[in-house]
Amino acid sequence: ALPALVREDVDLVISSDPEALDGVVFTPLFDYEPRFIAASTHPLAKKPFVEAEDFRGQTLIAYPVDRSRLDIFKLLLGPAQVEPAAIRRVELTAVILMLVAAGRGVSVLPDWVVRAVRKSSDYVACPITEQGLTRRMYAATRSEDTARPHIAYFKRLARQEAVKLQRGQA
């Protein structure tokens, strides 16, 4: 998406991975917590938090992006040199949630996704590591466009909605 921003095909890119690019500014939007999610009947569902070793032997259901871009590999499994038994790539969040509920694997999803299913008895979500993990989302824009009204409005709206989600208002 960043090359499309530079080519002026898009006006803004949301990313958790800021890069040093000439003419591109990364503005912090909000923080989020990647959360472990499993079926309520899964053996790991009783744990207050999961660690890298807990993923060994599991089927990890993840979005179809390069593993270096997935929080769980970047922040936990890669540094610990732990490999899940299998990785199942799924494009849609709703399908990931259905597969997890059916006991077909575990996943790691942003806390705002997990909040949407927190009242369901089909799932259990818990922190990754005892301290939890935190990531930051950024709005990437071309330097000359950062102050344009529609860009400024979008960034302000994204921050406001993130606060509402954190307070459970959305």
Encode the chain (170 residues) as per-residue pLDDT tens digits.
Answer: 899 999 999 999 999 889 899 999 999 998 999 999 999 999 999 999 999 999 999 999 999 999 888 999 999 999 999 999 999 999 999 999 999 999 999 999 998 888 877 778 899 999 999 999 999 999 999 999 988 999 999 998 988 887 776 666 55
- pTM higher than 0.85, yes or no? no
Distance between CA atoms of 143 and 100, rounded to whole angstroms? 41
The dihedral sign for the CA sequence 156, 134, 64, 18 = positive
For residues 73 and 85, what is the distance between their CA atoms, to the nearest angstrom? 14
Inter-residue contact 76 to 52 (CB < 8 Å): yes
Question: Identity (one letter) of the amino acid at 59?
Answer: T
Burial classification of residue 144, based on how many CB atoms lie within 10 Å of its CB (0-12 exposed, 13-18 middle, 19 or more buried): exposed
Q: How does strand 86-89 pair with strand 59-62?
A: parallel
Tokens found for residue 134? 């935190």
